Amino acid sequence: MSWTIPNILTALRLLAAPGVAVMFLYFTRPFADWYALTLFVSAAITDWFDGYLARAWGQQTKLGTMLDPIADKAMVVIALMVIVGYSSMSPWLVLPATFILFREVFVSGLREFLGDTAGTLKVTKLAKWKTTLQMIAIAVLFAQGVFEHYLGMSVWGMDPQMVGDILDGRIEDLHGLWWKEAGMVWSGQIGLVLLWVAAALTMVTGWDYFRKAIPHLREEP
């Protein structure tokens, strides 16, 4: 095994995946949301850098080829698990997350079954866009948690009437409730839209991989 800089970045991204969940075990919110968001975004950025450096320096290795898709899937699966676990279990969030998780498990199982012929399921450009969109959607949804909990901290002790008056402009907004609520609403809506688009691309690429694998799944006459 060759521990080049691109491979080290990939390994760090793989280790960061469970780290996102650990943030919510050892820190209170919104600090857990901040740390998870920072860790997730930093790891996602390395997804571009390790591939770029490997190609630029001619350091593409079998270890990196093996670890890269595993790290991507681990990041997405664990982050979605955390987001769904700390959400209100809205079907608008649970359904796309379920589609994404199902596809990732299905394709991984397909590659394992095909063994030496798994090279027919090489990562496509559309699959790379799918992964990028998944990561952006997850980062935006983590940001929603940040806004939501800062808003909750700001309205602590206020009665609903006062909160409504502040948001409607009848009382001066001294605590920034308006922009915190706007950030929470917009990041939540944008994150959900991006997650649904990512889920659609996920299912399309999953079907494409299955279609390519069909000839290898037929029984010999």
At residue 117, the pLDDT reads: 62
Question: For 5-217, CATH number?
Answer: 1.20.120
Tell me how far apart the alpha carbons of residues 221 and 204 are, in angstroms, rounded to a whole number. 31
At residue 101, the pLDDT reads: 92
The residue type of 215 is P
Residue 70 predicted with pLDDT over 60: yes
Q: How many CB atoms lie within 10 A of CB 166?
A: 21
* pTM confidence score: 0.84
Return the closest-CA partner of residue 174 out of 184, 188, 163: 163
The two three-digit tokens of residue 146, written as one number: 């940040």
The two three-digit tokens of residue 117, written as one number: 């012929």
**Given pLDDT bands bounded at 50, 70 and 90, which one contains residue 116?**
low
**Given pLDDT bands bounded at 50, 70 and 90, which one contains residue 145?**
confident
Rounded-to-5 percentages of helix, strand, coil across the chain: 80, 0, 20
Q: What letter would DSSP give residue 120?
A: G
Enumerate the domain spans of the chain: 5-217
Say if residues 131 and 205 touch (Cβ distance below 8 Å). no
Give per-residue pLDDT as tens, 6-37: 888 888 889 998 999 999 888 888 888 899 99
Return the percentage of the chain with pLDDT > 70, whole number: 95
At residue 209, the pLDDT reads: 81
At residue 50, the pLDDT reads: 78
